[in-house]
């Protein structure tokens, strides 16, 4: 904390490994807002709404480039506090929202984060993997935003994409000229989803350099299309 408060040049990454009381979190949040050196914040802790609000405010005016905050307990209520603040962060490039208990109510906040809100920065990497509450409806919103964004990496692993979500991701890949890497490990594409995804991916407009489909049931027809 002392290093953060004095903006020590050697402190570029802060990983919170032990529980902190509310007063210490408040000090961290205030120092974070003033820091010109810190670029990465990792805080996989369950936070009260009050602490989360202070931390989110600190992030919104910080010079962070990478943020991974919260646990499965974050949920849509916590995301409603955190995501708008991150969308305002002027330097944010990477955000990890894996396994944060998010559902469809967080979709609009994720979209705003992808598109940058009022921030001059453009998010390059986003992980929304292992959020069981994100349905194909949310995936379609997220895919639509990615298609017109500066995102270069998206991880939607272990989500129930369904045919609608899988098809939307395929169309996204055909439209998103910046997207280079897509991770869909262990995702459920649903009935017909693999074929819809593969057909969209067959477009010559797809600019992806890498796609991770580990442990995804594609079927012979879809696999052949993707391999072509």
C-beta separation of 83 from 109 below 8 A: yes
Q: Please tell me the distance from the alpha carbon of residue 128 to that of residue 28, in angstroms, as a whole number.
A: 26
- pLDDT above 60 (res 222): no
Please give the pLDDT value at position 223. Answer: 52
Query: Has residue 121 got a pLDDT over 70?
Result: no
Residue 146 scores a pLDDT above 80 = yes
Tens digits of residue pLDDT in 91-102: 999 999 999 999
Model confidence at 226: pLDDT above 80: no
What is the tens place of the pLDDT at every residue in 58-94? 999 999 999 999 999 999 999 999 999 999 999 999 9
The 125-127 sheet, strands edge to edge: 13-15, 40-43, 66-69, 94-96, 125-127, 153-155, 181-183, 210-212
pLDDT of 113 strictly over 90: yes
Mean residue pLDDT across the chain: 91
Predicted TM-score of the model (pTM): 0.92
Extended beta strands in 166-221, E state: 181-183, 210-212
pLDDT at 201: 78
Q: What does the pLDDT read at residue 120?
A: 57
| Cα Rg of the chain, angstroms | 18
Phi-psi region of 162 (alpha: psi -120 to 50; beta: other; left: phi over 0): left
Backbone angles phi, psi at 189, to 5 degrees: -85, -10
């Amino acid at each position: 904390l002392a290093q953060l408060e004095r903006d020590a040049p050697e402190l570029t990454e802060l990983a919170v490994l032990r529980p902190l009381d509310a007063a210490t979190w408040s000090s961290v949040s205030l120092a974070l807002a003033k820091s010109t050196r810190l670029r990465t914040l990792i805080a996989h802790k369950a936070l009260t709404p009050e602490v989360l609000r202070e931390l989110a405010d600190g992030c919104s005016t910080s010079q962070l480039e990478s943020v991974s905050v919260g646990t499965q307990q974050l949920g849509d209520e916590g995301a409603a506090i955190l995501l708008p603040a991150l969308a305002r962060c002027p330097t944010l490039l990477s955000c990890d929202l894996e396994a944060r208990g998010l559902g469809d109510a967080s979709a609009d906040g994720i979209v705003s984060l992808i598109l940058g809100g009022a921030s001059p920065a453009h998010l390059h990497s986003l992980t929304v993997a292992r959020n069981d509450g994100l349905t194909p409806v949310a995936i379609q919103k997220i895919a639509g935003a990615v298609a017109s964004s500066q995102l270069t990496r998206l991880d939607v692993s272990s989500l129930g994409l369904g045919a609608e979500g899988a098809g939307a991701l395929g169309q996204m890949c055909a439209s998103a000229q910046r997207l280079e890497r897509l991770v869909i490990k262990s995702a459920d594409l649903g009935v017909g989803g693999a074929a819809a995804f593969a057909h969209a991916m067959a477009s010559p407009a797809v600019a992806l350099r890498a796609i991770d489909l580990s442990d995804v049931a594609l079927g012979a027809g879809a696999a052949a299309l993707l391999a072509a």
